[in-house]
Structure formats: structure tokens, C-alpha cells
Chain A
């Protein structure tokens, strides 16, 4: 008989060969779980190679989901359940399975060949050596049972085997009391032109689902709905939210969006998404290189469109000179950097926050550009909107930092209505014919915008230093100093438009402050919550605006004796804070291409609390 057990939260890690359809399996389980009503967070972990050698550790693709009836802020650290489709997936991830956790292993993936490919001893099946008392192990010959279930179908063996991920998914659905209905609908749409494959996949899914009932003495789990705020939700991936934010902001500014990009991991999905939505009037342009992408976007902005480009670290390095041009021209431009592990080509599919200094300082000359960062998949929407708003209303390029973790991660999103967002007002000139002064500024030191096609406002701009007001070329020493100071002051004034600086947890009466930025928000939130549950007086602050800093930041920092700054880099925000405010902070740096585990931050809080 089955036994039901209720859990508050669960972390499942799906792992298999990169050709095994793991990402699809994971995203299907995510959609079903989101619709069921759990809070959740996901994290895909795939190799940089498209088809790494089959069966090897390098070729393992993973997808982790953390879901629960309680608030979920991270994709989870250690897994409660590991689904391993082969020996390599097992070998790479077993270390991350909690003691007492469940292993679902595809027995067929542990034959001698697979053991060898995974670099394991061929004479010992590692599944034989797992201490039974410590783990619940389901050894299922998925390949064999699935082939048996599909024997009626007119498909080759290879095609049949391709659906074994659906078998695994079906089994996990059964184990967690999830209905496969949504996935069946998905499959119908995906394989609408291939009915035999469609039927086979549905059969595999059902076979997996029913397989559970044949096992004796198995525990099924229930994870009740989370107490989410009432409203309409959807599941959202960071790069999607970012694209939606850009589209919304373009519409709210009444500007045509002109997006120019060059394919690069993990930013390409923004180009893909926008290219699919041409009916929103978005123009997308796949440029010949990173430099052409940003300069084409500059051309678009010069024409009066909203120029946008998206890239990752190496592309950002190539765009440096053009960034300088955009700030000299003082035109709206949004540059998205979906950060990945660096330096150089680094770790293309791994996450890191190591481009902060590059964003703030990575140009020749005195070249201030506002930098803002998204902190969760859904927050990418608001951050993109704000990036556009700053760019358009302050006539400046804006750098938006995201990273691979939130770009590909997903969470439920109580999405807004576009009517909740205010209009963004482009800074068009009201100058009459022949009277336009391109570098005349308003009280915020923002210049006005005149567009080619407008009569009598013809003017020339460029990368050479310009004379105040007229914008003519000027080599005058005093003018140069004045213009450098003016551009700096103009960007500094943007901080006056920021919303209030708010603590995520705690307040200024606490003893210790944890300050983060970007994608680490969820992990920090959990760690600070644990610390507070233990009675420690810990507060959490998370920075969206990295340049210029919030006007109140210094005051807030001064109120705390101990400030911990966790970052997925070698201490870049730590250095910036120390430099800017002469405030000593305690860096917590992780540079492994992986997000923080809440435990790591919690341990640091404990360590600093005991000093």
C-alpha cells in the first residue's frame, strides 16, 4: 500500500545527458507545479557544448526545482530527490543529494559502457553501494519498460527511447500527486504535426505515472498549495520578463523599439523573444558583431527610436568604445549585460556577478553611465522598465545587469497590468526652426532630443568633445572640464528620482546588515530569515541602483557596525562601498559559477555575529 507524507517544501534535481530532454522535463514539472499553486524557484544547469560527448560528465544537463507550500526564494541547495538518467548524471549530482533523500535512477544508464563514459569503475555499479538506510533508491530500467510500453508504436528504437524523459516525468508526477494533464496539452501542441510521436510521448508519460502503482511500500508526497497573495500568476523566466519589460516601456514611451544584438550565451533569448513579437512593431536586427549591434542601436536612437542591445561579458568588452560614444551623444540607449562566468570566454553557461566594475568603469575617459541590476526572474520586468525610463527621461545610455542565474531561472509571477505603469516622457525639443541648441540643458542637466526628419533642427553630433550648448567641436580646456563635470553631475542627479531605499527584512535598529545586489537576493533572504528566526538582529538591504548609488545609502550603512556583502565575484560591490563611503564591510565572495546556498550566507552571519 502507499503511504502519503506531507512536506512543506521539496527540491528535485533532474539530471541526464544533454540529449535526454532534461530541460523540457524540468520546465514541464515547473509549469504543472506552478499551476497547482506552489511557490517555486528553478535553476537550469546545462553544458556549454551543444552536444558534448554522450554519457560523459561534461555532457550532463541538469534542472533543479524547489517548490513548496511555504515561501520559496531560491532553487534550493541540496536536493531531496535526484532523478539520474545515466551514470554520469548520478556521479555528478549524487554528492548534492540530502541524506535520507530519494534517488530515481534509470538502470539502463548504468551499464558498463555508461560507467566507463562517466569515468567510473566498470566492475562496480555504484547503485549497489548506496547505503540503504541513508537513501530511498528507486532503480528502474526506464529504457526497457518504456520500450515495452511503446511496442505497439510504429517508431524506431531510437525514437522510442527519446520519450524516456516523459516516463521519468510521469513517475515523478505520480510520486508528488501531480496531474499530467498540462503536459499532455503541451505535447499535443508540440507534436501536432507528428501524431505517432505524440501518442508515444503521451503513452510514455502515462506509463511512468502508472508505474508507481506497481511498486510496493512506496511513499507518495503531498506538497500543499502555498499561501500566495491572491491574484493571477504565470511562470516567468528572467530573459522573458526582461523582454516584456522592454516592450512595455517602449510602448509607454511611445517609442519604436529598435533592438540590435549579436548571439551570445546567456543573452540570446532576448533577441529570440523580441524577434518573435514583430507584431508589436518591434524592429530586431541581428548584427555582424557586438560592436555593430550597439552602434546600430545608437543609429536607431539617433533616428528617434529606442535603441536597445543585449549581450554578456565578452560582448560588453567589445561595446566599450561605443558606450562612450552614446554617453557623449547623450541619447537614450539600453545595454543589457546578462553576466556569465569570466574573464575572457570564461564559463559561458555559468552564473557570476563579476562585470559590475566593468559596467561602472569599463571605458576610456571620464564616462559615467547609470548601472542598475535585476534581482530575480520577475524583477527583470521592472528593472528593464526602469532602465528605459532612465535612458529616455535622462537622455543617457543605461547598463542593465542581469545574470545567467535569473536569466534562465523561473518563478511564479503575479504579473502586473500595463496600466499600472506610468507614461515615460521623451525629452523632445520645443525649439523653433533654426534655434535648436543640442546641448542646452534643463534643471536636471538633461539635453533635448531633435530627430532627423524634423525641419529646421538640423545639427551634428559626434564623439569629439563638444562646446557647451551648441555641441560644436571644441578643444577649449575650460570647456572640456566643464563638460566632464556636467556629464558627471547629470548622471549623479538621476539618483534624485529613485524610490525610497527599503529594507527587505529588519530595519536600522538591527545589529548586522547584509547588503547584496542582483541575483543573490533570494539566497540572502533565506539566510537572513533563518538568522532572525534564531533571534539574531539581522537586516537585509538589496541594491538595485549600482551607479549612481542611492542618496540614502551612506546614512543607512553608517547605522550598522557590521555589514556583510555577499557577491558572486571577488568583492566588487565591497570595494565600491569601501571606496565611496570609507565604510569597512565584510565581503563574502563565491566565484564558482554557481549561486549562493543560503547556508553559506547564514554561516557568514553566524561567524560575524560571534565576533
Chain B
């Protein structure tokens, strides 16, 4: 039986001191990863974490598996080469909002469309932490930081809308403060055959504390967030509110206790149009008309993986031309003899 069935979370941690700031949301994500891994049935020898640069990218040093802490923004490309070379590996890309969406934006979007069977965990803290507090591509407009003392004038990215636009086959969101939910999403990401994109809201308690409070604070999160479950109606605020679709226009519905919810918007992970609508629920402030921020799996699609297609092409080339004959190739088709 596989080694991992005998393993516990501890087996996945290394002897290296974890050097994130005390109170950082990264600790929770690391813990959930290590906790969930024994359940995933992946042997340690086949497990690889590839990261770029930034606070989150220290992650591989703390995982007792194969790993590479690479250069800024390029983890998706390195992981693509790794997976292409050895499709048997379980490959996890660890990136952040600066690493993945700014300097490595190109690598991220192309990895998503190619659909290697890898997992991308984007730790979004809406700030540059390791360089000590500049605004990032996900920082909100007007954000005051060291490099934007008068407020940011950069319109932020919507990471999930970006991923869907980049033809991702699995798009999900979770948050560091909800361990159970995060573990569930990580499991699903692992199960998905193709590139899984998971945005994880992660609190930077030093440079951007409380950035996600709206969705983690006990008093507010019922109204501000909604958990997505495949095949179930979109209901939130402890069952008092729901969402329905009027054509492709989402509408808020007030629900009475015991009210029939069958005409509400039923979540369908495989519906790209609905996933795009959900990704656009991006209100930063709570009001009577605002839609809740969705957490869970917005979209999941079965599509061939790059490495499978690559293997198939090689296989077909071999069938068609036979295994390459090196000396015949060197000789070419136009040789001549000099006596």
C-alpha cells in the first residue's frame, strides 16, 4: 500500500524553522496542506512543491517532499516543464498576488490555458509583504501604502475572473481562517485532472491586517459571503437570503423559513456562464444590494491535459515513423560516397 496511508501531518513537515511573521495566515495554509496530504494518497516521493518569490513562496522549504523555491513569477513555467518531463508527479505551485499576478502574470495565464495536471495555490494578501508593504495587483483602489501614499490608482485584478478568462478548467476560492473549507477545496483541487486554480485569501497581519475581515469576521461573514455546493441552491445569511437568476441577471431573494428553494439559482460547477457571473460578485463593501463573495468551487471542467496530449503525439509519431533510428537521422536522405 502507498506510503502516505501510514503518514500523518507531521511527516510532511521539515526540520527548517518556519520564518513567517507570527500570526501570518500562511501558517494556517501550511497546516491545512500538511493535514490534508495523508488523506490524498500521494506518496511523498512523488510530491513536488514549486514556488516563486515572496512570503508564500517559502512554502516548499517547510514541506518534506521534493521542492523548488525558484525565481519571481516563474513557478508555473518550471512546474510545466517538470510535469511534462515526469507526468507521474503530483505538482503544487505556490504563488502569491505579486508573484502570480504581477511579475508572473504571463506564466500564470499560459499555464491555465495549457491545462497541465497541476495545482496552483495563489495566496492572496493584497499586498507586497516581503518587500515590506507596497500595493499589489489585487490591492483595492485608493489603498494607501508605502508606494501609494496618496492612494493606489491601479485598478485591481479580479483573480477568479482572470483565471476563467485564461481558460482555466478548475477555479476555486477559500480563505486561511476557514480550515475545514480550505482542506475540502485542496482535496478537490487534487482530484481535478487538469490545472486547478485556488485563490486563498490570506491575512498579512503586518502590512495589510484585516484585508479580508469582511469575509472572516463572524458578525459580517454570514451576509458578505456564500459557500458554493454543487447541485445546491445559492442560499446565505443563515438561510435568510438567496440568489436567483432572471435570465443571466442575478437577483437577491429574501427567504422565509421553510420556503421552497427549488426556483433559486442552483450551483452548477460545470456551467461556464454561471461561473463567470459568480466570479463577478466582487463587491468590497456590504450594502443592501451587494452580492455575497462566493467561496468554494466556481468552475470545474474536464479537458485533456497537456502532458497527455504530448505523450499521445509522441506515441503516434512512433507508430507512424517507428522508433527513431539515430544513425539514419544523422545520415539524412541525401548522402553520397567519396572513394
Residues of A within 8 A of B (CB): 31, 34-35, 37, 182, 225, 228-236, 244, 247-248, 251, 256, 258, 260, 277-281, 283, 285, 287-289, 291-293, 295-305, 307, 321-322, 324-325, 329, 414-418, 451-464, 472-473
* A260–B64 CB distance below 8 A: no
* A295–B81 CB distance below 8 A: yes
Apart from A234-B332, A463-B71, list 4 A-B contacts with CB within 8 A.
A230-B338, A287-B77, A288-B106, A462-B68
Q: Mark B317-331, 1 if CB is under 8 A from A, else 0.
A: 110111110110111
Shortest CB distance A389–B (Å): 16
- Pick the contact of B338 from A231, A256, A291, A322 — CB < 8 Å? A231
Question: Is B147's beta carbon under 8 Å from chain A?
Answer: no
Question: Is B276's beta carbon under 8 Å from chain A?
Answer: no
Shortest CB distance B10–A (Å): 15
With both beta carbons as reference points, the residue of chain A lying nearest to B307 in the complex is identified as A283
Question: Is B335's beta carbon under 8 Å from chain A?
Answer: yes
* A322–B74 CB distance below 8 A: yes
**Which residues does chain B contribute within 8 Å of A256, judged by CB atoms?**
85
Q: Mark B165-187, 1 if CB is under 8 A from A, else 0.
A: 00000000000000000000000
Question: Is B80's beta carbon under 8 Å from chain A?
Answer: yes
CA distance A31 to B335 in the complex (A): 10
With both beta carbons as reference points, the residue of chain A lying nearest to B327 in the complex is identified as A418
Q: A232-B335, A304-B85, A452-B89 are in contact. Are A296 and B70 (CB under 8 A)?
A: no
**Which residues does chain A contribute within 8 Å of B327, judged by CB atoms?**
417-418
- Pick the contact of A456 from B45, B80, B310 — CB < 8 Å? B45
**Which residues does chain B contribute within 8 Å of A453, judged by CB atoms?**
45-46, 86, 88-89
Q: A244-B330, A458-B66 are in contact. Are A229 and B338 (CB under 8 A)?
A: yes
* A291–B335 CB distance below 8 A: no
Residues of B within 8 A of A (CB): 3, 14, 16, 43-48, 50, 53, 60-61, 63-72, 74, 77-86, 88-89, 106-107, 110, 310, 313-314, 317-318, 320-324, 326-327, 329-332, 334-339
Q: A231-B337, A248-B330, A458-B64 are in contact. Are A463 and B70 (CB under 8 A)?
A: yes
CA distance A298 to B80 in the complex (A): 10
Q: A288-B106, A325-B71 are in contact. Are A230 and B77 (CB under 8 A)?
A: no
* A232–B68 CB distance below 8 A: no
30 contacts between A and B (CB under 8 A): A31-B334, A233-B335, A248-B330, A258-B81, A277-B324, A277-B329, A278-B317, A280-B323, A280-B329, A281-B324, A285-B80, A288-B77, A288-B107, A288-B110, A292-B110, A295-B70, A295-B78, A300-B82, A303-B82, A305-B86, A418-B330, A452-B46, A453-B88, A458-B44, A458-B66, A460-B63, A460-B67, A460-B68, A460-B69, A462-B69
Label chain A's interface by main secondary structure: mixed
Shortest CB distance A227–B (Å): 9
- Pick the contact of B16 from A235, A324, A473 — CB < 8 Å? A473
CA distance A254 to B312 in the complex (A): 21
CA distance A182 to B48 in the complex (A): 54
- Pick the contact of B80 from A296, A455, A458 — CB < 8 Å? A296
Shortest CB distance B100–A (Å): 14
Shortest CB distance B257–A (Å): 53
CA distance A463 to B68 in the complex (A): 8
* B85–A305 CB distance below 8 A: yes
Q: A230-B339, A232-B336, A453-B88 are in contact. Are A296 and B69 (CB under 8 A)?
A: no
* A234–B89 CB distance below 8 A: no
Q: A231-B337, A279-B317, A302-B82 are in contact. Are A289 and B326 (CB under 8 A)?
A: no
Q: A296-B77, A298-B81 are in contact. Are A463 and B338 (CB under 8 A)?
A: no
Scoring A287, A295, A305, A329 by chain B CB atoms within 10 A of each residue's CB, the highest score goes to A295
Shortest CB distance B50–A (Å): 7
- Pick the contact of B330 from A283, A307, A415 — CB < 8 Å? A415
With both beta carbons as reference points, the residue of chain A lying nearest to B103 in the complex is identified as A291
**Which residues does chain A contribute within 8 Å of B324, judged by CB atoms?**
247, 277, 279-281
Scoring A232, A452, A455, A457 by chain B CB atoms within 10 A of each residue's CB, the highest score goes to A452
**Which residues does chain B contribute within 8 Å of A416, judged by CB atoms?**
330
The 3 closest A-B pairs by CB, nearest first: A299-B81, A462-B69, A280-B324
CA distance A281 to B84 in the complex (A): 12
* A462–B60 CB distance below 8 A: yes
With both beta carbons as reference points, the residue of chain A lying nearest to B79 in the complex is identified as A299
* B82–A452 CB distance below 8 A: yes
* B339–A296 CB distance below 8 A: no
- Pick the contact of B334 from A35, A454, A457 — CB < 8 Å? A35
Scoring B82, B83, B85, B318 by chain A CB atoms within 10 A of each residue's CB, the highest score goes to B85
- Pick the contact of A460 from B60, B323, B326, B336 — CB < 8 Å? B60
CA distance A247 to B313 in the complex (A): 18
